[in-house]
Structure 1
């Protein structure tokens, strides 16, 4: 295969040089004004007087913040999915299927060609950051692998299709890089995400893979199948994929996965790079600078706003933008894009670590917190507390979920119950109890409210921790028909979800050990 790296590196250096000189504030304002001009003649544009928008402040006085459900009912209405000319002038023939991980409700996100071009441009910038910072890279001397979700596309109306964003994106891969993309067509067409990953692993055994990207849990699953396909279970990844130099991950908080990937990549030359990509926008990417946080992609046709958490959920909240955000403050992310989303509440919580260039981290989800007893603990805090506790004993967290266990009739206090897949699997009751203790202590350090509620075990008792067999969550998703695609097991479960008899029985079958055996069926 021709090594295209030198040519692409020249482009990468030029592009990164331009990005380093980019004034993000001016770029974001230009983006907003351009979006408003392009959509001024749509039904939405006329109703909200987008043609009159001359500044960010003008826009914020005309366009309220809306959730997906509000966009669908108030803006698109009964004609959905035939939304041409309603909120974006370009015909919309593709929709990305995505699900809220806490509710399971599916969304159909418009993906017209302009937005797909934005996604592709962001991916190009991600590789540009890496190539410009890695002068000895030979990334495009071999194939690059993307772990796709569902590749099947469903016709939801005549001439209109919907599918997983990775499957849709595969249709729009720039022709220039297609020769260096590894996904055999025969594998793409296999029905079922798990079967496709298994065949992909078999095909990859003899291939000179240079990079791989996917959700962390997908990557772990793939690496395990790769070792099985090669007949070399137990050997390091550096032996299975000796030319691998880049692992791209995103989609979930990486804190609990890092110890696992540190072990997987031990002895390998592969670098880890994080992305923040959603169906609605490719928001940010690791710019390979080593700085804390991912760089906001400010010139990709998406305008971003940031709502203080106390104002989240309001129709007319206080709204910041890149011109006036503060460092270290948690904001609910709101965006307007070239897919016809305007003042759209994405549901993520972000926190800026730098302003020039703007860098941020994903701090969790707006609506996903654990507060059965008034403790208000966010997903990111649970993930960090558990990840730190497990790492302290030399374990990684492959996956987990937490739910609240209400108090018994003769008690006032309830507790949190962690269901965890450890890497490697953990069966020592003493170690599990110690991780539970450390996670409890760490969470009190991270969340003052939780610390107050935990005082003297009066409102919230010490947590229970259950160690599950490897693959438990994937097995449950498979049984539920939701393995792969944009589906993710919720990190925080409602009491109703956790109390389902079928789920309880399944957990009991998969339990290796727990810190409070008398509470196993709580």
Structure 2
């Protein structure tokens, strides 16, 4: 055992003890975060507009501060972008994380000197939790790769601007710099395919032990490695032992990855976003990710099936229930207040509080009142694949409201790595799994409002070509699992 791995085990034990302390006092921890946020932001422009000075409780806050998304908060963010101080948080942000918006074009998410350290600590602590639980630490001596956006930053009115993953690249600790790949020069390549080719050239003969990134883009890296070397990734990197991922559910990719790697490797799931680092997988044995209650973020939860009603109830951490689909609402030390990030979560444990990401509140199908969510389509596909040799590279689902003939249906666009012998029979298996999960969908099938789903196979690399055509290949970009319109479906059909 090296000095570095020995030290990592000791440090992992220390961090585990600290984590247990706040995780075992969740309500008190969140109250402390809430009080700290109010105390620091009451003299900001937003704080004055919403009477923070007289907020004494969460009930006061909920009465004075409505839930907002980026578009609704944009007038405040625009002032910050123009260089104004003390608008959402004291002073100016350190950075803006630039992301793709929906109706507002580019989104500028502030990162402050108070919020930035939590992004770094959470990623570190996820690895330390793995080391503490498993006792495995030898990988800290091997090479590590983080598939991420360019670390090049620009300036906007004196504030640095870039992709979140590129900003975080500037905070890699010195003791990991020697092990970290790819090189700075390769990381700054803009074109994703060119960048992955360069990463392959830099890494194929290295001792890669930890690989991290969004699964769909790591898959591209693995496929290019296999094309170059003609063998499984696990044989190219004999000591590859840990895959760290976030952004999407890994389960639809798991079989494909195990085939590409040639064996199973441990994995750690993360739940990061430009708006905050919310959770990480703290156990290889338990389902879900530990919700970070002490990270400068105060959480609220709104039941997803009540979200679009008039004045839905806003729950705090002590009021949530297992298995309910909630819209995640946050207030942070970066100056986001009662902010809807768009993600939905469900709790898998209340002691400690662990969550799974179930989808996006904007990514659903309810063309006929069925309100199908991302978790349901992913679970149905996984269930249909059990006991088969079918494997799937990527998929998305859309409603077909006006078919050329017959009843409307849900259309599943699937890019198979290995196609089922009978696609229609496979579609029926998915449909049966969907009907078990979603009673509204089942009622529509029984009532002959919908017919059973239809699979439309997508050509190899069809999804990759689609993402490239809209300028969203690589980086932190993710394909929506489902949509309530046919924008993606029509592009794929063409």
Using the size of structure 2 for normalisation, the TM-score is 0.93
2:408 is equivalent to residue 418 of structure 1: no
The 1:478–1:2 alpha-carbon spacing in structure 2 relative to 1, beyond 3 Å, is: farther
Measured in 1, the distance between the counterparts of 2:341 and 2:272 equals 11
2:181 is equivalent to residue 182 of structure 1: yes
Give, in angstroms, the shift of residue 357 of structure 1: 1.1
Q: Which runs of 5+ in 2 are unaligned?
A: none
The 1:312–1:105 alpha-carbon spacing in structure 2 relative to 1, beyond 3 Å, is: farther
Whether contact under 8 Å (1:94, 1:112) holds in the other structure is yes
Pairwise mapping of residues 78-157 of structure 1 onto structure 2 (< 5 A)? 80-99=81-100, 106-155=106-155, 157=156
What residue number does 1:36 align with? Answer: 38
2:426 partner SS: helix
The 1:139–1:409 alpha-carbon spacing in structure 2 relative to 1, beyond 3 Å, is: closer
Measured in 1, the distance between the counterparts of 2:3 and 2:423 equals 49
- CA distances 1:294-336 after superposition (whole Å, capped 9, x unpaired): 1111111111111122432468531111122112221110001
Measured in 1, the distance between the counterparts of 2:150 and 2:456 equals 31
2:235 is equivalent to residue 239 of structure 1: yes
Pairwise mapping of residues 46-61 of structure 1 onto structure 2 (< 5 A)? 46-61=48-63
Measured in 1, the distance between the counterparts of 2:139 and 2:131 equals 8
Whether contact under 8 Å (2:214, 2:476) holds in the other structure is no
1:488 partner SS: coil
State which of 295, 299, 315 in structure 2 corresponds to 1:300.
295
Whether contact under 8 Å (2:364, 2:483) holds in the other structure is no
Measured in 2, the distance between the counterparts of 1:119 and 1:279 equals 9
The 1:118–1:136 alpha-carbon spacing in structure 2 relative to 1, beyond 3 Å, is: closer
State which of 68, 71, 74 in structure 2 corresponds to 1:72.
74
Measured in 2, the distance between the counterparts of 1:324 and 1:375 equals 27
What residue number does 2:388 align with? Answer: 393
2:72 partner SS: helix
Report the RMSD for the aligned CA atoms in angstroms: 2.4
State which of 349, 358, 363 in structure 1 corresponds to 2:358.
363
Using the size of structure 1 for normalisation, the TM-score is 0.88
2:338 is equivalent to residue 343 of structure 1: yes
State which of 314, 321, 324 in structure 2 corresponds to 1:319.
314
- CA distances 1:155-180 after superposition (whole Å, capped 9, x unpaired): 4x332343221111112223343333
State which of 246, 255, 259 in structure 1 corresponds to 2:251.
255
The 1:461–1:83 alpha-carbon spacing in structure 2 relative to 1, beyond 3 Å, is: farther
1:387 partner SS: helix
Whether contact under 8 Å (2:272, 2:278) holds in the other structure is yes
- CA distances 1:148-207 after superposition (whole Å, capped 9, x unpaired): 13444444x332343221111112223343333222122123231221111111111121
1:92 partner SS: coil
Measured in 1, the distance between the counterparts of 2:212 and 2:140 equals 15
1:349 partner SS: strand
2:447 is equivalent to residue 451 of structure 1: no
1:76 partner SS: helix
What residue number does 1:516 align with? Answer: none
The 1:197–1:410 alpha-carbon spacing in structure 2 relative to 1, beyond 3 Å, is: closer
Give, in angstroms, the shift of residue 47 of structure 1: 2.1
Measured in 1, the distance between the counterparts of 2:77 and 2:469 equals 34
Whether contact under 8 Å (1:150, 1:193) holds in the other structure is no
1:323 partner SS: helix
Measured in 1, the distance between the counterparts of 2:53 and 2:5 equals 44
What residue number does 1:492 align with? Answer: 482
Pairwise mapping of residues 142-291 of structure 1 onto structure 2 (< 5 A)? 142-155=142-155, 157-229=156-228, 231-232=229-230, 235-268=231-264, 270-291=265-286
Measured in 2, the distance between the counterparts of 1:20 and 1:466 equals 48
Give, in angstroms, the shift of residue 60 of structure 1: 2.4
Of 40-49 and 383-392, the range deviating more from structure 2: 383-392
Whether contact under 8 Å (2:364, 2:482) holds in the other structure is yes
1:490 partner SS: coil
Of 249-258 and 51-60, the range deviating more from structure 2: 51-60
The 1:262–1:154 alpha-carbon spacing in structure 2 relative to 1, beyond 3 Å, is: same
Whether contact under 8 Å (2:413, 2:458) holds in the other structure is yes
What residue number does 1:461 align with? Answer: 451
2:359 partner SS: strand
Measured in 2, the distance between the counterparts of 1:18 and 1:431 equals 53
- CA distances 1:20-48 after superposition (whole Å, capped 9, x unpaired): 23212211111111111111211111222
- CA distances 1:399-429 after superposition (whole Å, capped 9, x unpaired): 1111122234765x2111111112x332x5x
What residue number does 1:515 align with? Answer: none
Measured in 2, the distance between the counterparts of 1:418 and 1:496 equals 11
Measured in 2, the distance between the counterparts of 1:105 and 1:389 equals 38
2:337 partner SS: coil
Q: Which runs of 5+ in 1 are unaligned?
A: 506-522
